[in-house]
Structure 1
């Protein structure tokens, strides 16, 4: 995985490059759903390795199914986000909609813009059984499945620079109390305890996601997701918000973190250049650190773990947060012929031995039960197995909040998180501001 196309950048960061819009798999324009003379249409995101794997998948399907051909177009992240909503609203949607699931998918469902795929999975039970059960949460609305989980899984992970731990003679933290005790130890040695690309805002969010889970259990965010009045003011919520500010006030993050961006991979560089001892970040950063960090990864200087427990907390230590999967939805606006072609692709072409192998070779863990059998012999086998176990064994795999919530709530959340980490608002003010979005 290249340093400039991290998994998170494909999923949530706005990219400034213009629309690509290149038809890759067949001639013709994508046009309205099912309206192209070439058949069903599919739009995907650019950026390697994902773009190449997606393209190869569609090309292989088209070669094997000339009567069910999909026309493939690719778009940069930011352009895709704008174009897909405009297209869907104008009844010009592609047949197959690449989506993050969660709040965005719920909007599509609410507006009758995507097909209910529950019966599709009943008819293709073998396909469903192949996939991590944890991947279906963000694809499900009101107990019905509206998208096909696919591609790979990216939990949020606690990364450690073992060179620096050895330098100060410290052990890896197992609890939140251990984390707070390490802060003065590293600061005294002139080392930032944690790297953080705070300008990107969603990086700050990862801390709250885990603290909410470890303190209040998965039910705490579920109450927020379901719009329970004053859910953000729950005592466990205030406790989590307070703990984050305790870490900020203790100089737990590198100086100037609010000006550091994640899309430039500057936060990762702080870890592997020995400027910071720890980093909470997505699994997608492993490949970039391996590529850019010299012998940091290959030399055994990188360690990792799940997020530490909070003493007395209600959360299950196996719970994880992050990106459970990518998703493909089916446009309700498509013709019957196009829908049939798309469903054939979902059943036969989207998840194959070839795509599973390609994701593993890219340093990612596909959401396929048993795909860990392909890790043998890989120099990244230990890492891949950790990610596989984290995702497949998690009792709850909470989707990143900025994708789980509606777009309006997500923007309010990111804005208030930035203020919280900047100590510009109190935990109580944060809670009040976010409670106001529950009624919206």
Structure 2
């Protein structure tokens, strides 16, 4: 995962009020900053500084400490880049916190391989009330070798196919219900001098979203699962070549806006193309809603923004309900912690992190909590229609896959992003892409 993209991909809120502050979540303001009033406590907790996350996390720890005065938690909050460095160093030296906040996937797998985090499978089995409150699909990024090493927490952010209702009405079209329909829309919008799809291709991870969902719809979630577990030549699955070929066909058909490879997602130029009507569609994380709401004038308020899930592919094996994106954030327990500290952590994770105040905090911030039944509170938001859509697709997903560059190791992720950029610029063939990616499986 590229650190420069974390603020937008991980922590942007969904409402206009959240957007201005949420963008700071990954960079923080003054971290590290210690939780005041609790002293060193029995258990320690490290996470990210900055709104909207830090205040909600602080409030949860304060609630726990006030009701558990003899087993308090001490917390330290870091800016994003500092956190990524410090947590890795501390855990490697056996001096990490009791509770380790993270993104699951490849980073978590590294900790598991080194024996640095606790296996939570048995604890969750003994506490079904805890596990059953969390969206089932969110456990995928917390699972390594069929065992759960982290508890999914906080919010979900699936990838959404956004579209401009006004330009669709202009050409008399409907949102695509299949890959074939999406391809058929390309010449229709091009003829109307409207870019079919906006894409901030210079950022690379935006291109990746098209591959992730296409592969899922063509071959099912099991194809990437084999890559994640390190199966030799897993990228050689025929579904992968089909995915890569279809993407290049879309590019050759001028499906993406002209010059997409020089457009950056960090500048929100891709978002602007959609809300100004210069592009008809855009595949992006659910955080895009808040960006368009904050920067697009009355585009969202007037009902100009539409959204739907990525369509199925004709003849594909994938379940159209599968989601890809950020299935949650994750808390692990250090295997080096004392038994007493582990007990405190588990008590905190089974009580405070699932309480109504926690849910209300994330809803107020513009997020969709990872907890079953949290949709009951979404009606209080002015963006209830969109938030309930996100809740529905996330809670019903049998599989909620983590973005590939988060699921893979840093080495494999960088090779992935580099090859994706070359693929979209037509500099390599699908087979060359497969051969290159097979070379970094397990690295």
TM-score (norm 2): 0.91
Q: C-alpha separation between the residues in 1 aligned to 2:329 and 2:366?
A: 16
2:354 counterpart of 1:376: no
Give a deviation string over 1:330-368, Cα, whole Å, max 9, x none: 111222332222222112222210111121222221111
Query: Could you tell me whether the CA contact under 8 Å between 1:14 and 1:77 is conserved in 2?
Result: no
Query: Could you tell me whether the CA contact under 8 Å between 2:167 and 2:280 is conserved in 1?
Result: yes
Q: C-alpha separation between the residues in 1 aligned to 2:370 and 2:170?
A: 38
Give 1:421's match in structure 2, choosing from 416, 424, 427.
424
Q: In 2 relative to 1, CA 288–219 (structure 1 residues): closer, same or farther, beyond 3 Å? A: same
Show the counterpart of 1:197. 200
The alignment of Structure 1 onto Structure 2 pairs a total of residues equal to: 429
Q: Could you tell me how far 1:5 is from its partner in structure 2? A: 4.9
Q: Could you tell me how far 1:431 is from its partner in structure 2? A: 0.3
2:254 counterpart of 1:251: yes
Give 1:26's match in structure 2, choosing from 22, 36, 46.
36
Show the counterpart of 1:60. 63
Question: SS of 1:68's equivalent?
Answer: coil
Question: SS of 1:66's equivalent?
Answer: coil
- Listed as ranges, the gaps of 5+ residues in structure 2 are 1-5, 14-22
Q: Could you tell me how far 1:260 is from its partner in structure 2? A: 2.1
Query: Could you tell me whether the CA contact under 8 Å between 2:29 and 2:50 is conserved in 1?
Result: no
Q: C-alpha separation between the residues in 2 aligned to 1:16 and 1:381?
A: 25
Query: Could you tell me whether the CA contact under 8 Å between 2:28 and 2:51 is conserved in 1?
Result: no
2:4 counterpart of 1:8: no
Give a deviation string over 1:239-293, Cα, whole Å, max 9, x none: 1001111111222112222222223322222211222111101112212222222
Show the counterpart of 1:31. none
2:88 counterpart of 1:85: yes
Q: C-alpha separation between the residues in 2 aligned to 1:325 and 1:104?
A: 14
Q: C-alpha separation between the residues in 1 aligned to 2:47 and 2:142?
A: 18
- Listed as ranges, the gaps of 5+ residues in structure 1 are 29-35
Question: SS of 2:132's equivalent?
Answer: helix
Q: Could you tell me how far 1:439 is from its partner in structure 2? A: 5.7
2:325 counterpart of 1:315: no
Q: C-alpha separation between the residues in 2 aligned to 1:48 and 1:245?
A: 40
Question: SS of 1:288's equivalent?
Answer: helix
2:82 counterpart of 1:72: no
TM-score (norm 1): 0.92
Q: C-alpha separation between the residues in 2 aligned to 1:91 and 1:259?
A: 43
2:139 counterpart of 1:136: yes
Q: Could you tell me how far 1:27 is from its partner in structure 2? A: 5.9
Q: Could you tell me how far 1:7 is from its partner in structure 2? A: 4.6
Q: C-alpha separation between the residues in 2 aligned to 1:225 and 1:16?
A: 26
Q: C-alpha separation between the residues in 2 aligned to 1:129 and 1:178?
A: 37
Q: Could you tell me how far 1:21 is from its partner in structure 2? A: 2.6
Show the counterpart of 1:221. 224
The CA RMSD measured in Å over matched residues stands at 2.3
Question: SS of 2:240's equivalent?
Answer: helix
Q: C-alpha separation between the residues in 2 aligned to 1:226 and 1:14?
A: 34
Q: Could you tell me how far 1:10 is from its partner in structure 2? A: 6.9
